[in-house]
Amino acid sequence: MSGRFSLGVPLGPVVMILLAVVVFTVVVVEPFVLVRYYTIMGPVLGSAVTLFAIGLSDLAQYYSSTTTLNHELDVECWSGDCRSGRISALVRNKGRVIVRDAKGVVSINGGQNLKGLLAHRGYCKFGVMYVNEHYPHVNGDALPWALPDKPTLRLLGSGTMRSGVVKAIGGNVEVALNIINNIINKMLVNERLNLEIDSKSVRRIVENEIKGNRSIIIPIVAPQEHLTSISPGQMNRLLIFNYDYNRREAGDEYVVRVLSENGDSRLSLDRICLRLNDEIKYIFEVTIHGEGLRKPYSFKMFIIKDKLNALVKSIEIAGLGSVDVTMDVLKEFKNDGNKSLIDRYWRIRTGILNAKNLDEYRSVAGELKSLWNDIRGGLKSRAPYLGIATGILNSYLVYLAAVNKQDKVAELLKEGSEALKLEIESNVLTRLMLRLLGIKEVNVDVGRVIELFERYEKLSIRVKHSYRYVPALRLLLGEYRSEAEALNACNDRKYGGGNQECVRAVKAINNPKALDELKNMNVFTALEVSGDSELRQYLSELDARSLILAYPPKTPQTRLTLILHELIEGRLKPVEALAFVGHRMVKKPEQVKDLFHEVYEACRSNCSINNEKLKLALLKLYHYYI
C-alpha cells in the first residue's frame, strides 16, 4: 500500500496501526461476546499486535529517514540606499537526513495572466525575459540556488561556424570540435561545467558537415542551477527575486525581477519583470521538493510597494547605528491582511488618498491609532523604529497634528524621541509637516532641507541636471553667506564642474541680467520645442527665487519638501510656482500630478494651511510619499 496523508505520513503504516487499534477496541468493548470465539481470538490478537508493531516500526524508520525544512527571508543590497537588491530565502534542514536534489519552484498570483503588469523589457537583465509576453504567467517555474549542487546545461539557442572557417581548418574534425568546445565553455563561469561535445552523435554531425564544407551549428548553452543538497543543520539560499527602484520614470515604482534557473551569475536572465506600485500586489507561492523530505515545504510571500519601502528605511536606520528592525520588516512579507502591519497601513493610506474632504481624512486616518497601539504592544521599545521604517509612526504624528491633538503629539514625540531624531528622509519630511501644522517644538535646520533635496533627486535619472542648482539653492536658503561661496561650489564636479547653468543660477539671485540669461538657456527654450509653451511662458515670468526653487526638482518628493519649507517661511509665490510647475512636469502618477494642481489652485485663493483644500492636498501628498 502506497500514498501519503496530507501531513506527509506514509499511508501503509498508518493503515496497519489503525487496523490493530480497531481489533483491540473490539476486544475490549465486547469481551464476553467474543469469548465463545476463543479458538480464533489468539491468532487475531496476535495478528493485531504484529500489525501494530510493524506499523510503528515502519513509521519510526520513515521518520528517521526523512527530514523537514524551515526558512527565513533575507535581503542583499545592490546600492548604498538598498533601493535595489535581492530577496532570498535561507532554507534550513531541521533534521538529521540530507535533502538531495532539492528544487524550489514559484507561482505568482496563482499562475494568472500577468500581461498588464509587465515592466518594459529594458528594465530586465540584458533586456530579456523568458516568459511568453502574449500570455505571461509564472506557475511552478524553477528558482536558482546560490550554491547549486548539480548544475546542468540547457540549450538556449545556436550559432554557426561559417563555411569559410570550415574550409580554413582543412576539414579537421578534432580542430572543429575544439573550437566549438572553447566557444561554449567561455560562456560558463563554473569550471565543473565543461561540456563534453565530442559524443558520437555530435561527432557524426560535425564529420558530415565538414565533408560538404558546410557551416556547422554551434549550440549556445547556459547552466541550470535549480538543484542542490542541504545537509542536516545547514542552510542554502534560494534566490527569489531582485528588485530595482525605477529611476527612469517619475512614477515612484519598483521593478520586481523574478529570477530564472538558467545561467550562472554572469549570464542569468530574468524569468519575468513586473511593475510594483501602490495599486499592485503579488502573491508568491514557493514550494521546495527533494529526496529525503517528509513532505514538500511551502511558504507564501505577499509583495506590496510599502514593504519594499519599509525594507529600504529599516536598512537606512540600521546603517545609522540604531536599532535594526530589518528582520521585523522581512517577516511582514510572510503576512497578509490583518496579520500584516504594513498591509493594514497600506489600506489606511489608500483610504487617505481617496478622501474627498478633511472629515473623510479624519475618519480614515483615525485608524492609525489602533495600528500604532498594536505595533507598540507587540514590539515594545522597538516599536518606534519599526514605525519609522514603515511610515506608521510618522503618519500617526501628522494625523494627530492635523486634527489639533497637540498633547498627543507631544506624548508621541517623547516616546519615539530617539527614533525620530534619526536623519532619515521620512523623519525630515515629517518634521517639516509637523512644523507647518503648528507643532512649535519641532524645528528643521535648512541644511537638512538641502540634504533632503539631494537625497530625493538621486532617485531621478536626471540627477546631474538638478544638482547644478544646489549652490544657488544653498545661497537662497541662507546656508551660504555670499555669492562667492556659491560660485566656488559650482566648480565642484558634483554640481557641474563650472557649468554655466550653475553659475548663472547663482548670479541670477541678485542680478536681473543674469536671470534673463538663465531663462534664455537651452534647457528652458527646449520646453517650447517639446510642446509645452505654456510652461515656458510661465517660467519666463518668474522671479529668481521662484524659478530656482520651482524648475530644478525632478522628483515629486523634492518638490513637496520645498513647498513645505516655503510655506513655513511664509513665502507664497514660490509655493504657487512649485505647485504649477509640478503639475506640468510630473507625468505620473496621475494622482500626484492632480494633487499639485490642487495645491496651485488653492494657493491662488488662499495660500494658508488654514485653507482646507490646501491642507487636504498637502496631507495627501505627504501620506503618498512617507
Straight-line distance from the first to the last Cα atom of the chain, in angstroms, rounded to the nearest whole number? 59
Section 285-300 average pLDDT: 95
Sequence-ordered list of residues with C-beta below 8 angstroms from that of 486, at least 6 positions apart, any chain: 471, 472, 474, 475, 480, 506
How many C-beta neighbours within 10 Å does residue 382 have? 16
Counting every residue written for the chain, the total comes to 626
What grid cell was written down for 304? 506590496
Beta-bridge mates of residue 525? none
Task: Tell whether pTM > 0.75.
Answer: yes
How would you classify residue 213: left for phi > 0, otherwise alpha for psi between -120 and 50, otherwise beta? Answer: left
Q: Is the pLDDT of residue 218 over 80?
A: no
The answer to whether the beta carbons of residues 547 and 562 sit under 8 Å apart is no
Identify the DSSP state of 541.
Answer: T
Residue of 316 and 63 predicted with greater confidence? 316
Section 433-451 average pLDDT: 91
Q: Quick check: helix, strand or coil at residue 299?
A: strand
Residue of 26 and 470 predicted with greater confidence? 470
pLDDT-above-90 percentage for the chain:
52
Q: Give the span between the Cα atoms of 14 and 620, in whole angstroms.
A: 60
Q: Give the span between the Cα atoms of 524 and 346, in whole angstroms.
A: 39
Beta-bridge mates of residue 275? 255
Section 168-187 average pLDDT: 62
Q: Is the pLDDT of residue 195 over 60?
A: no
pLDDT for 498: 84
Interval 360-416: pLDDT, tens? 999 999 999 999 999 998 888 889 999 999 999 999 999 999 999 999 999 999 999
Banded pLDDT at 466 (limits 50, 70, 90): confident
The answer to whether the beta carbons of residues 530 and 523 sit under 8 Å apart is no
Which of 268, 146, 151, 167 minimizes the C-alpha distance to 210?
167
Residue of 535 and 14 predicted with greater confidence? 535
pLDDT for 107: 97
Q: What are phi and psi of 493, to 5 degrees?
A: -60, -30
Q: Is the pLDDT of residue 193 over 60?
A: no
pLDDT for 194: 43
How would you classify residue 452: left for phi > 0, otherwise alpha for psi between -120 and 50, otherwise beta? Answer: alpha
Q: Give the span between the Cα atoms of 453 and 466, in whole angstroms.
A: 9
Q: Give the span between the Cα atoms of 466 and 60, in whole angstroms.
A: 69
Banded pLDDT at 463 (limits 50, 70, 90): confident
Beta-bridge mates of residue 74? 88
Look over the chain and give the mean of its residue pLDDT values, rounded to a whole number: 83
Instruction: Pick from 22-26, 192-196, 498-502 the range whose average pLDDT is largest.
Output: 498-502
Interval 492-505: pLDDT, tens? 988 888 889 999 99
pLDDT for 204: 60
pLDDT for 12: 62
Interval 54-66: pLDDT, tens? 666 665 666 678 8
Q: Give the span between the Cα atoms of 477 and 498, in whole angstroms.
A: 21
| Least-confidence region, from 315-329, 451-465, 588-602 | 451-465
Tell me the H-state helices in 197-282. 200-211
CB-based burial of residue 463 (10 Å sphere; 0-12 exposed, 13-18 middle, 19+ buried)?
A: middle
Interval 550-570: pLDDT, tens? 999 888 999 999 999 999 999
pLDDT for 148: 75
Q: Is the pLDDT of residue 1 over 80?
A: no
Section 592-604 average pLDDT: 95
Beta-bridge mates of residue 106? 141, 286
What grid cell was written down for 573? 509665490
Q: Give the span between the Cα atoms of 392 and 385, in whole angstroms.
A: 10
The answer to whether the beta carbons of residues 502 and 473 sit under 8 Å apart is no
Q: Is the pLDDT of residue 457 over 70?
A: yes
Q: Is the pLDDT of residue 147 over 60?
A: yes
What grid cell was written down for 234? 545547514
The radius of gyration of the chain from alpha carbons, rounded to an integer in Å, stands at 33
pLDDT for 529: 46
Section 13-19 average pLDDT: 58
**With DSSP H G I counted as helix, E B as strand and the rest as coil, what are the percentages for the chain, rounded to 5?**
55, 15, 30
Which of 432, 438, 370, 374 minimizes the C-alpha distance to 403?
438
| Integer CA distances (angstroms), 415 to 35, 318, 333, in order | 77, 19, 27
pLDDT for 322: 82
CB-based burial of residue 181 (10 Å sphere; 0-12 exposed, 13-18 middle, 19+ buried)?
A: middle
Residue of 208 and 451 predicted with greater confidence? 451
pLDDT for 84: 92
How would you classify residue 109: left for phi > 0, otherwise alpha for psi between -120 and 50, otherwise beta? Answer: left
Section 310-316 average pLDDT: 92
Instruction: Pick from 60-74, 113-127, 133-147, 289-303 the range whose average pLDDT is largest.
Output: 289-303
Interval 224-277: pLDDT, tens? 567 889 999 999 999 999 999 886 654 678 999 998 876 554 556 789 999 999
The amino acid present at 373, given as its one-letter code, is N
Which of 258, 426, 281 minimizes the C-alpha distance to 342?
281
Residue of 320 and 19 predicted with greater confidence? 320
Banded pLDDT at 183 (limits 50, 70, 90): low
pLDDT for 362: 96
pLDDT for 125: 80
